[in-house]
Amino acid sequence: MKLFIALMISLLCYLPFHAQSTLHIPKLNGEEPKLDGDLFEDVWNNLEFTELHMINPYDDRAPSERSYFKIAYSDKYLYFASFNYDSTPELIQSTSKKRDELQLNNDWCGILLDSYNDNENALSFCTTPAALRLDYQVINDGEGDFPANIDWNAIWEVETMKTEEGWFAEFRIPLSTLRYQLIDDKVVLGFSAFRFIARKSEWSTYPDIPNKWGFWSWAKVSQFQDAQLEGVKAVNPFYFSPYILGGYQQSFELNDAPDYTKMEIWKREIGMDMKFGLAKNLTLDLTVNTDFAQVEADDQEVNLTRFSLFFPEKRQFFMERSNVFEFNFSEESRLFYSRTIGLNDGYQVPLLGGGRITGRVGDWDLGIMSLQTQINQKYYGFDETTNHTVIRSRKQLNLNKNSYAGFILNSKITPDGNKYFGYGIDAILNLKDDTYLKVVLAQTIDNETVKEYNILDPTRFLAQYEKRTFEGLSYNFNIERSGNTYDPQMGFEFRSDFSKFGHIVSYGIMPENDSKVLRSSFSVKGDYYFRNADQSLETINFTPSFNRVTKRSTELSFELPYVFDDLKDPFELSDKIKIQSGKYNNIGLAANYSTSSEKPLESNFYAFTGNFYGGWQNSFSIAPSLSIGNTWNISLNYYYYRIDFKELNEVYQNHLLRFKLWYMYSTKLSAYANVQYNSLNESFFINAKIRYNPKEGNDLYIVLNDDLNTSRFQNHPSLPFSNQRTILIKYTHTFRLR
């Protein structure tokens, strides 16, 4: 493995960095701005302004409305002021006050900071005229369908002001929130600022980033402006966030009568997270009785495959610098997946505590995490503690700012001697311009496979060659192999024991600026899976597609998916329908249309028709969303699936409904209800909560979760009215010592 990394580094020694000018951010040595949204006080008047550049819907024009920013810093804070002038201020759109709202029918402004200047990851702080706070992490240089983690939350503040000239936003971000590499009292980071005007679907940025990478061009981290802060003092964070949680849980268990016995549990929990700056470039996070994000609920999904569904991590302890621990073969397939910590066969188990260290040592990004879980005999019939540890490090290769090499090691060990280890190396090499080579190699071993001597069996490998662009020809060619004993017990994997060749070939067109079309693309995606045992063809996924986006932000796409599947093992679609082993050819037609996001009412429509494992599938969905002022938001997602299996004389039919309602009294007080109905299990699931957030880091939640049966009397004995009901009150308070 050391030889592999050395070879990758030597390949790039001749590749030079591109020269880039540096933005010098001034330091405030006296009076600091008063955080009130007023940008016309003396402190701001004495600073120079920088104008933004339009990148969408036109890339050769000045912004339609004057847009510029000012930026400065003090010993403790970074200050950012966004001046968003508007010739028709009555048309400024502000449709929400909700924390972490991400809708394009709002006007927006914000700042993105590549705090470690790694040209791949960034922290984003955004707001709207209503002063809502949105923060998220940009990952993978803005590449992918949604290269952002919006579940990350940080401590920062923003105030806005609206006048007859437009709207203005004032940000105050603690330097301890950012974390950065301090060398000789200087910090060099990547910097970008943006403004979005909803009614015109207009993006403006600084620096002037080309729009050739599609929608996420404005968040292309490798294109950010280098910015320098001089005379910076080390600001090591030190704060702790205890939480208390109390509540009542009611559930029912079938007894021998047969009947249902009511089970009641009074929940009482206390725990704490702590953050401490070990050194100027390293941060220690500690957790005791880790918060399991009980106030959050996953959206229900319909799974028509034989593979597991992937759900994102929501626990805040795992969010900070989560990109450091990424070791992925594809978007979902990964050697480390934090949601495996604290789960046993799909059930939550207590996470006693642990710690993690993140930061940078020299040129190496470093992440170390170790946590202890315990399965309680009262609920699971046996006691067992398990240690989960992961070590991850990556290095930016010399003389090429977009090339990296790294390694990972993770382990899961129980006192009774069960041991699991996973380890791997990876490299991303920027060969030229937008051309990249990615190589990933990993192995897993446990008590059984450690006795194996075939090096390929516990190994997974990926080699990927791609050109990252939207305009013109782009491609992604990849080969993968996963051995029959490769088992990432701390990761996530869709299928095992396969060899695969895959490709995506696209051609993107960006018409002249006088066209109503913003961009169009034609793509052909294919994945071809072979069984390792006999090299027989297992699966083909082949999908030609067309996509078009207009300058008014409407979007239309078509797909012709073809799936060949040679099933060796049957899988159940429902209690009555089992897909038998055999060879299947499935071909269909899918269409998707999204209305313009320029209006408070927007919607998405999807339809599919085609073969499905011996049946015929007709499916559609509709997802309207309506904002009423910036106080009410209503959204509905309705999915209908119908598959006729004539030979089986069976019909699979499922209705999935999600209804969400937000009431936002202010940015600090809101109420939310999420009602989900799934006809397959004939139940309503309700997640309702009230949130009071007096200041960042302090939260009070009152939560109701209820799982209601809709067909109680079709079973014997009759089902209970509610399978499980939980009422919780939770309060978190953050104490900041620096």
Contact predicate 268/245, CB 8 Å: yes
- Stretch 555-563: mean pLDDT, rounded? 98
Both structure tokens of 126: 């955004």
- Does position 732 have pLDDT exceeding 70, yes or no? yes
Residue 458 near residue 441 (C-beta atoms within 8 A): no
pLDDT at 419 (0 to 100): 92
Q: Flag whether pLDDT at 400 surpasses 80.
A: no
Measured in degrees and rounded to the nearest 5, phi and psi for residue 543 equal: -135, 105
Residue 399 lies in a domain: no
Average pLDDT over residues 400-425: 91
Residue 366 has pLDDT above 60, yes or no: yes
pLDDT computed for residue 294 by the predictor: 63
Cis peptide before 600 (omega within 30 of 0): no
- Strands 225-230 and 22-24 turn out to be parallel
Please check whether residue 687 lies inside any domain of the structure: no
For the beta sheet containing 77-85, the strands, ordered from the edge strand earlier in sequence to the opposite edge, are: 50-51, 67-73, 77-85, 166-174, 157-163
Average pLDDT over residues 539-552: 96
Q: Is the pLDDT of residue 10 over 50?
A: no
Residue 298 in tokens: 């996953």
Residue 728 bridge partners (DSSP): 247, 703
pLDDT of residue 491: 93
If you average pLDDT over residues 616-627, what whole number do you get? 96
Segment 603-616, tens digit of pLDDT: 999 999 999 999 99
The per-residue pLDDT for range 192-243, each reduced to its tens digit, is 999 999 999 999 999 999 999 999 999 999 999 999 999 888 777 888 899 9
What CATH number is associated with residue 67? 2.60.40.1190
- Look at residue 180 and tell me if it is in a domain: yes
Which residues, including other chains, have CB under 8 Å from residue 135's CB and lie 6 or more apart? Answer: 100, 123, 124, 125, 126, 152, 153, 154, 156
The two tokens of residue 481 are 């192999």
pLDDT of residue 81: 98
Q: Which positions ≥6 away from 160 have C-beta within 8 Å?
A: 37, 127, 128, 129, 130, 131, 167, 168, 169, 170
Q: Indicate whether 700 belongs to any domain.
A: no
For residues 155 and 82, the answer to whether their CB atoms sit within 8 Å is no
Number of domains in the chain: 1
Residue 414, judged by CB atoms within 10 A of its CB (0-12, 13-18, 19+), counts as middle
Cα separations in angstroms, 344 against 172, 351, 490, 729: 42, 11, 12, 25
Share of the chain above pLDDT 90, in %: 67
CA distances from 672 to 128, 296, 687, 734 (A): 20, 11, 8, 23
d(CA 233, CA 677): 54
- pLDDT higher than threshold 80 for residue 488: yes
CA 134 to chain centre: 14
132 and 96 Cβ atoms separated by less than 8 Å: yes
Unique residue bearing structure tokens 């920062």: 156
Q: Are the beta carbons of 395 and 382 closer than 8 angstroms?
A: no
**In the chain, % of residues over pLDDT 70:** 94
Does residue 92 lie within any of the structural domains? yes
The band of 12, judged by pLDDT with boundaries at 50, 70 and 90, is: very low
Burial class (CB in 10 A: 0-12, 13-18, 19+), 108: buried
Least confident of 126-135, 255-264, 345-354, 532-541: 345-354
With a cut of 50, say whether residue 18 has pLDDT above it: no
The 10 Å CB-count burial string (b at 16+, else e) for 72-98 is bbbeebbbbbbbbebeebeebbbbbbb
CA-CA distance, 443 to 488, in Å (whole number)? 8
- pLDDT, mean over the chain: 90
* Best CA proximity match to 299, nearest among 704, 689, 576, 659: 659
Q: Which pLDDT score, from 0 to 100, does residue 383 have?
A: 62
User: pTM, whole model, 2 decimals?
Assistant: 0.88
Q: Residue 174: which domain range?
A: 31-230
pLDDT band of residue 376 (cuts 50, 70, 90) is: low
Tell me: pLDDT of 154 over 70: yes
Rounded mean pLDDT, 538-548? 97
Contact between 648 and 668 under an 8 Å Cβ cutoff? The reply is no
> In the chain, what's the furthest Cα-to-Cα distance?
81
Query: In terms of Cα–Cα distance, which of 691, 737, 581 is closest to 295?
Result: 691
CB atoms within 10 A of CB 643: 22
Least confident of 65-74, 119-128, 164-173, 279-288: 279-288
What contacts 495, CB < 8 A, 6 or more positions away? Answer: 307, 482, 529
In a domain, 159, yes or no: yes
Q: State the pLDDT at residue 453.
A: 67
Q: Give the pLDDT score at 219.
A: 94
Amino acid 244: pLDDT: 95
User: pLDDT digits over 462-481, tens only?
Assistant: 999 999 999 999 999 999 99
pLDDT of residue 680: 86
Q: Which whole number is the average pLDDT over 38-47?
A: 94
Q: Where are the strands (E) in 255-320, listed by range?
A: 260-279, 282-288
**Angstrom distance (rounded) from CA 519 to CA 513:** 10
Q: Counting beta carbons within 10 angstroms of the beta carbon of residue 473, is it exposed (0 to 12), middle (13 to 18) or buried (19 or more)?
A: exposed
Q: Is the pLDDT of residue 113 over 90?
A: yes
pLDDT band at 5 (very low <50, low <70, confident <90, very high): very low
H/E segment holding residue 44: helix 42-45
Instruction: Report which DSSP code applies to 35.
Output: S
Check whether 11 has a pLDDT greater than 70: no
Q: Can you spell out the DSSP letters for 56-89?
A: ES-SSS--SS-EEEEEEE-SSEEEEEEEEE-SSG
d(Cα 527, Cα 521) in Å, to the nearest integer? 20
Domain assignment of residue 179, yes or no: yes
Instruction: Identify the pLDDT of residue 125.
Output: 97
Cβ neighbours around 121 below 10 Å, total:
24
Residues 6 or more apart whose Cβ sits within 8 Å of residue 69 = 49, 50, 52, 80, 81, 82, 83, 111, 193, 206
Q: Specify if 657 maps to a domain.
A: no
What is the model's pLDDT at position 593? 98
Going by their DSSP bridges, the two strands 238-254 and 260-279 should be labelled as: antiparallel
Interatomic CA distance for residues 403 and 437, integer angstroms:
9
